[in-house]
Amino acid sequence: MFILNGSKDKHMAKKPTIGICRVCGQKKTLTEEHIIPRAAGGGDKIKLYSGDELLKTLSDDEKPYGKIKQNGHAEYTLCKTCNNHSGSSYDKDFSDFYNTITLNILKDITIPSDVSREDYLEGKRLEVELRGIKPLNIAKRILVSFCSVEHPGLTDRKPEIRKAIQDKEYRPKTDNFSVYLSLHVGSPAYYGTVAALVNVNGNYTPIAYAGIEADVLGFHLADHDEHLKGGGLINCLDITEWLTRYKYNEIANVRLELMFSKSLMIRFPIPTDK
Ligand SMILES: [Zn+2]
């Protein structure tokens, strides 16, 4: 049995509230955190698909309902200290990376007029050589996004993720998670987040999987080496080593090979009851 996040009450009051910061774990006033930084367009108008809406894509009859969000997707999940720290430490490098990929991809792709965008792109490979990026900084901002999605508990039980965000220089142990990059064929207006939960003794517990898809890029957090198990992450690029191989602010040239596929949201590894 599994459920998806994105419960019906999640679009309710969005005013600042006291809560547990997803990064430092302290009880504080929570501030608005954009899942994708504003510098990467994360504050622009989007159509947001929550997890239970995306579940409808599994059915032939139902279409998912996307909610228009005028100022992007943001949640009150981080305290001001962690929000500011993340912004000043990682946002620029992530945004440069994100904008380079999304703008280049969108600019260079011409879809023939007699075929749909989805059908044309599905299964196509894209190779990009990125010069002068800061892999550790970028990967850490991706971890911040996972801490910030609406569903609590996803990263709470992975202290290495939180420590890696708090300490710029720290290179985390990654033996219980992997981070992936994907390309999907959705439109630039498409945006969705999802987390999978497994029912353990009557309590829904997040497993280590979450997906964020924005523009044509997707980010996924899963169990270590989940892509080797033949599930939905099989065509994703494992970028976990960006967290362990590089230092903070270290510059590198990175070659990415990515395959376009339809939304991965519906292909996440479905947990089984234990
Ligand atoms: Zn905090």
Tell how far the Cα of 158 is from the centroid of ligand 1, in angstroms. Answer: 15
Cβ atoms of 235 and 218 closer than 8 Å: no
The answer to whether position 272 is within a domain reads no
pLDDT of residue 202: 53
**Helices 135-148 and 92-108 meet at what angle, rounded to 10?**
90
Question: Mean pLDDT lowest for which of 93-102, 135-144, 239-248?
Answer: 93-102
Domain span at residue 136 reads 2-267
Would you say residue 113 lies in a domain? yes
Q: Considering the domain boundaries, does residue 273 fall inside one?
A: no
89 CA to centre of ligand 1 in angstroms? 14
Ligand 1 ion local residues (Cβ < 5 A): 21, 23-24, 79, 82
Over residues 17-65, the pLDDT tens digits come to 899 999 999 999 999 998 889 898 888 877 777 766 766 666 667 777 7
- CA 2 to the chain's CA centroid: 20
Query: What Å distances lie between residue 182 and 9, 156, 235, CA to CA?
Result: 29, 24, 7
Overall domain count for the chain: 1
* Tens digits of residue pLDDT in 129-175: 999 999 999 999 999 998 888 776 667 778 999 999 999 999 999 99
Tell me if 49 is assigned to some domain: yes
**Which of 25, 80, 74, 23 is closest to 45 using CA atoms?**
74
Stated pTM of the model? 0.84
CA distances to 28, 51, 116 from 19, in Å: 6, 23, 45
The predicted pLDDT at position 266 comes to 44
- Is residue 221 situated within a structural domain? yes
Q: Stretch 231-254: mean pLDDT, rounded? A: 93
Burial class from Cβ neighbours inside 10 Å (0-12, 13-18, 19+) for residue 109 reads: middle
Rounded to the nearest angstrom, the distance between the alpha carbon of 159 and the centre of ligand 1 is 13
274 located within any domain: no
Distance of CA 70 from the midpoint of ligand 1 (Å): 26
Is residue 258 in a domain?
Answer: yes
Asked whether the predicted pLDDT for residue 188 surpasses 80, the reply is no
Mean pLDDT of 88-95: 97
